Structure 1
Amino acid sequence: MKKSKLIGLASIALLSTVVLTACGGSKEDTSKNESGKDTNSELADKQEINLIETAEIPTMDSVLNTDAVGSIVMNNVFEGLYRKDLKGENALAMAAEEPKVSEDGLTYTFKIRKDAKWSNGDAVTANDFVFAWQRVINPTTAAQYSYMMSGVIENATEIAAGEKAPTDLGVKAIDANTLEVKLAADIPYFKDLLSLTMYMPQNEKYVTEKGESYAKNSDNLVYNGPFQLTDWDGTGLSWAYKKNDTYWDKKAVKLDRINVDVIKETGTALNLYDSGDIDQMKLAGEYVQTRDGDPDLINIPTASVFYLKYNQKRDGKDTPLANENIRKALSMAFDKQAYSDTVLQNGSIPADGFIPSGLAKDPKNNEDFREENGTLLKYNQKEAAKLWKKGLKELGTDKITLEMLSDDTENAKRSLEFMQNQLEENLSGLKINLKNVPFKVRVQLNNEMDYDIQVAGWSADYPDPINYLELFGTDNSNNRSNYSNAEYDKLLKEIGTTSLANPEKRWEQMLEAEKILMKTAGIGPMYQRYNAVLQKPYIKDMVRQLVGPEYSYKWAYVTKQ
């Protein structure tokens, strides 16, 4: 899942949003949705849907969120200055109007809606943003996404480094409804960041009163978004959303309730879908083929790239993955097309680089980044064996045992088994031990860097290659792999500072940065995900975003069957 940061570019994004809709219904309801079109469908009497997730919610503290599931939930129960609409464009949310921007592009002045309320009746104020953003950047909070403000908000970099106080952050409440934001640089896509979880507000009085209990369960939260979270005990495998009657735009929200259960086995989920107990699900593996021709089946592209993440130091000691040839060998030793065809079977395509297709275009010639940078780290069994042999010699051994970490879903288990078979077969002397754990545990092991190889994934928060590339900067809090390359770091710094005023130069530097990451096998790219989705035909305007939180339920509704 789903995360982003410091710089700006010019020309971006192909598809930004997919609206999952369905046909049918008589023309009784003529209300218009956010895209301006008539819904022209008869609404069902019961506006309630049942969904599933494949992992638990790790946290509901928007300051601490790092994962895709948490991002989806927060996107539907909280709201920042903007939110993405049905077209994937920035729509005013907590901001009452477009901000006033200084001539140098460094100061934004926002007016907060006077009708914006928290679910406990408190007004949403400018100070709620100041409080939350200062929490994000405060080093004592240990928010992994603090880097999303570094290089963006004035003094954020210095605060994160402990050189300045959080109160020095370039954000100020002029009055209850006026928020002033000072930027570190003139960032073209600054507004795209403002719908993300780390830029959402928090009610300071409420958070302070709750103390350590804050966000531990759905009863210890207040909400300012379209829905309120309910029935979540903080660790369980189920929760629900209910319509938030204090939401400023509640007239646009048609669903009264959404029920969610965590189901990790595709077969179990499919049985629930066929029995009518759930209304949408993702298919994977051989299950996709069994539904070929099903009118409920939709194939959807995503900006998610999955890769092997190599931890170069564990328990204070270098791992074999600190050797570049070992990393290269592993990255080239598995058949990506066979993996996509036999394990995933959902339309996903092999990835030979880190930046996905369809994310961003060259500001000079409009060419897609992936097409322009081409194939960088592809499957090559013969070359992998050669590099492996060289790496073993450099390490002074003929055998290596490595642990491979992933989630405990059915498809994750099949994926690891495929990788284990491919790598052990193609790299002589390699032993792979598999470790499948619940998603929340994997997040913890990643944060503690207590793993060797991890199957990881990244979904864009905003449509710019730097959203991926900066993940593996030496000082990035999301690196968690001990990868470090001085030339790569130098490029990242320039991309985020001196090159901002020169989009074409910045683009060339991002192309070069990806080449360095792949040349040194900082990661081993696996695939760009496509989702095979089954969705009941009576659900309309279920928005799926290619960047940022995956789903938005604000405009979704149910028609009569």
Structure 2
Amino acid sequence: MKKSKLSLLLVLTLVLSMFLAACSGGNKDTGTDKPKDKGGEKPAAEQLADKQELNVLESAEIPTMDSVLGTDAMSFTTLNAVNEGMYRLDADQKVVPAGAEAMPEYNAEKTELTIKLRKDAKWSNGDPVTAHDYVFAWQRAINPDTASEYGPYFMSGKIKNADAIAEGKAKVEDLGIKAEDDYTLKITLERPIPYIESFITFQLFYPQNKKYVEEQGADYAKDAAHLLYNGPFKMTKWDGPIATEWVLEKNETYHGAKDVTLTKINFNVSKDPQASANAFTAGEADITPRLAQAAIISQFAGSDELIQYLEPSMWWLKINEKNPALKNINIRKAIALSIDKKALVEDVLANGSIPAGFIVPKEFAYDKNHKAFRETTKEYQKMNKEEAKKLWEKGLSELGVKEVNLVYVGQDTETAKATDAFMKDQLEKNLPGLKLELNAVPFKIRIDREQNMDYDLLFSGWGPDYDDPMTFMDLYLTGGDHNKMDYSNPKYDELVKAAQTDLAAKDEERWKALQEAEKILLEDDYALAPIYQRSVNILLNPKVKGFAHHAFGPDFSYQWIKILK
């Protein structure tokens, strides 16, 4: 997922996603740490504060609240708070029933899932949440007229007939999801999917109330007044994608309302990390956005207010091969090898993030022997400034030019500006004849620029959408909805698609195919330049208990939070 994440956000903002993104959990299967309340064991008699109202700062606006149109961690995290699907991640990173009564029942081939829905789930207008709401939302997501980016991307090759529908060769009614009755869903897959349960927790698969959506027409999801909610909270204030503040309140019609303690959450956008830290210190905020500046983080070192963890969110430089200069592999190699990633994470970010020579992150995706994907493969694109200069000169000669002018698109947060300035300095200093035009834009604009391929170099983040390496590896398939850099390699496509199909049930062979594909992407083709894997640093009021962060899907969950005296 894209991070505003990242944020994820920086695109270190988000997500967050994205992609907000994108790590709570106490088991090795997720490679994350179970959220802990600072300060030791729970006191014998914790007392709740009289006012259960939380103040949260975010570093990006919400691009959309339409679950079939969202692509970023900010949207997904908010959707996770006000809606829910059949399943959700709990505070221990486990997939648990939410709108469903129990985990799915499978046929012998593991290609059909039968899911019984709970009968006490309601929309905020009092309507029951039924199987028909899921069918409608999934069909809307795959319908070409909706122009959902994630619908075809997520369902392609997985949900039966999704590809044919996306190509206009079948009707949306042919999609592999049917309502057997009001509270029974049958989902039909193209083939077994090893990660299917974490996959369908994703926000794309949330239900939508058909009657309400169709009544609202083009106004649906334009603001808080044109939405319905079936989750722990409801939105009582949000004026749309440009809004810099919004409010969530406890949803009394939620089936689990008795277990939700918070009554209100106030959100405000703060793109300046120092301003966020100042607001926290002044008692105006209980949770800050990610703090990526060393000077700010050092102010809180050793404090029980500072929460730090390595998350499986990756940040990389996308290289748009529509530009003839960037179609030259020596130019791409030179760009990737000229960046001192260690200096970036240690001197500019200084927040616990680590240099990356990979796209599938560390401490993420474990095999049956509890080994992470990264433990059994290598890293790529180690900095070599001398080699980069030689490759650059060779590339210029092949192009018949002496200089190259490129447009570099970043984000408008203070952290992103600092990162992008470092990247510009590295690239221009180490590659004589390169001139970069920096474009610092709001997160939503950055998404639009990426989707329209209106860039040469773009600093972007991605957080996992489900618990499997495929959430990173299928991004760069030829013509893929998230490729958006004109990259294509038939061998890469072959390996990734084999991992999706013929090797789906062959764990070791599947792993090796994905690792070989990563090598092609990064070592053979230098299709993009991984820069770092992000560490999250946020400030959390010690009186706030039950805050959960996630390794994939939404960045955070708020529904278990309690504020103590």
TM-score calculated relative to the size of structure 2: 0.92
Contact 1:106–1:182, Cα closer than 8 Å, also in 2: yes
Structure 1 position 98, deviation (Å): 2.6
The alignment's C-alpha RMSD in Å is 1.6
Distance 1:487 1:120, change over 3 A: same
Distance 1:97 1:496, change over 3 A: same
Contact 1:20–1:544, Cα closer than 8 Å, also in 2: no
* Map of 2:4 onto structure 1: none
Contact 2:110–2:192, Cα closer than 8 Å, also in 1: yes
Contact 2:195–2:468, Cα closer than 8 Å, also in 1: no
Contact 1:332–1:380, Cα closer than 8 Å, also in 2: yes
Structure 1 position 24, deviation (Å): 8.1
Structure 1 position 16, deviation (Å): 4.3
User: 1:493-521: per-residue Cα shift (whole Å, max 9, x none)?
Assistant: 11111111211111100010000010211
| Identity within the alignment, % | 43
| C-alpha separation in 2, matches of 1:195 and 1:41 | 32
For residues 100-499 of structure 1, the aligned pairs below 5 Å read 100-146=105-151, 147-234=153-240, 235-281=242-288, 282-285=290-293, 286-313=295-322, 318-363=323-368, 366-499=370-503
User: 1:393-428: per-residue Cα shift (whole Å, max 9, x none)?
Assistant: 111111001111111000000011101111111011
Partner of 2:231, secondary structure, is: coil
Distance 1:369 1:100, change over 3 A: closer
* Map of 2:8 onto structure 1: none
Structure 1 position 433, deviation (Å): 1.1
Structure 1 position 97, deviation (Å): 2.1
| C-alpha separation in 1, matches of 2:124 and 2:434 | 55
Contact 2:315–2:531, Cα closer than 8 Å, also in 1: yes
Partner of 1:537, secondary structure, is: coil
* Map of 1:13 onto structure 2: 29
Partner of 1:435, secondary structure, is: strand
Partner of 1:280, secondary structure, is: coil
For residues 540-551 of structure 1, the aligned pairs below 5 Å read 540-551=545-556
Letter in 2 for 1:86: A
Which deviates the most, 246-255 or 14-23?
Answer: 14-23
Structure 1 position 353, deviation (Å): 0.9
| C-alpha separation in 1, matches of 2:108 and 2:41 | 51
| C-alpha separation in 1, matches of 2:127 and 2:32 | 34
Letter in 1 for 2:489: N
Letter in 1 for 2:339: F
Contact 2:32–2:363, Cα closer than 8 Å, also in 1: no
| C-alpha separation in 2, matches of 1:289 and 1:327 | 36
* Map of 2:5 onto structure 1: none
Distance 1:396 1:210, change over 3 A: same
Contact 2:100–2:117, Cα closer than 8 Å, also in 1: yes
| C-alpha separation in 1, matches of 2:53 and 2:109 | 48
Structure 1 position 534, deviation (Å): 1.4
Contact 1:299–1:532, Cα closer than 8 Å, also in 2: yes
The answer to whether the aligner puts 1:524 opposite 2:540 as a matched pair is no
Contact 2:32–2:311, Cα closer than 8 Å, also in 1: no
Distance 1:375 1:396, change over 3 A: same
Contact 1:300–1:533, Cα closer than 8 Å, also in 2: no
Structure 1 position 74, deviation (Å): 0.4
Which deviates the most, 200-209 or 153-162?
Answer: 153-162
| C-alpha separation in 1, matches of 2:180 and 2:255 | 22
Contact 2:89–2:95, Cα closer than 8 Å, also in 1: yes
User: 1:261-297: per-residue Cα shift (whole Å, max 9, x none)?
Assistant: 0100011111101100001222222212232222311
| C-alpha separation in 2, matches of 1:209 and 1:23 | 50
Q: How many residues align?
A: 537
Contact 2:31–2:365, Cα closer than 8 Å, also in 1: no
Contact 1:218–1:233, Cα closer than 8 Å, also in 2: yes
Contact 1:296–1:535, Cα closer than 8 Å, also in 2: yes
Contact 1:462–1:547, Cα closer than 8 Å, also in 2: yes
Contact 1:406–1:437, Cα closer than 8 Å, also in 2: yes
Partner of 2:35, secondary structure, is: strand
User: 1:174-215: per-residue Cα shift (whole Å, max 9, x none)?
Assistant: 111111111111112211112111111000000000000000
TM-score calculated relative to the size of structure 1: 0.93
Letter in 1 for 2:371: E
Contact 2:340–2:426, Cα closer than 8 Å, also in 1: yes
| C-alpha separation in 1, matches of 2:505 and 2:302 | 50
Partner of 1:76, secondary structure, is: helix
| C-alpha separation in 2, matches of 1:25 and 1:47 | 22
Letter in 2 for 1:54: S
Contact 1:474–1:484, Cα closer than 8 Å, also in 2: yes
* Map of 1:508 onto structure 2: 512
| C-alpha separation in 2, matches of 1:78 and 1:260 | 17
User: 1:14-55: per-residue Cα shift (whole Å, max 9, x none)?
Assistant: 434642524489967xxxxxxxxxxx5211111111011111
Partner of 1:71, secondary structure, is: helix
The answer to whether the aligner puts 1:83 opposite 2:88 as a matched pair is yes
Letter in 1 for 2:441: V
Which deviates the most, 91-100 or 44-53?
Answer: 91-100
Partner of 1:513, secondary structure, is: helix
Contact 1:17–1:545, Cα closer than 8 Å, also in 2: no
Which deviates the most, 427-436 or 276-285?
Answer: 276-285
Which deviates the most, 65-74 or 368-377?
Answer: 368-377
Letter in 1 for 2:312: A
Letter in 2 for 1:64: L
| C-alpha separation in 1, matches of 2:502 and 2:340 | 40
* Structure 1 spans left out of the alignment, 5+ residues: 4-10, 29-39
Distance 1:107 1:17, change over 3 A: farther
Contact 1:399–1:429, Cα closer than 8 Å, also in 2: yes
Partner of 2:475, secondary structure, is: helix
Partner of 1:229, secondary structure, is: strand
* Structure 2 spans left out of the alignment, 5+ residues: 1-16, 20-26
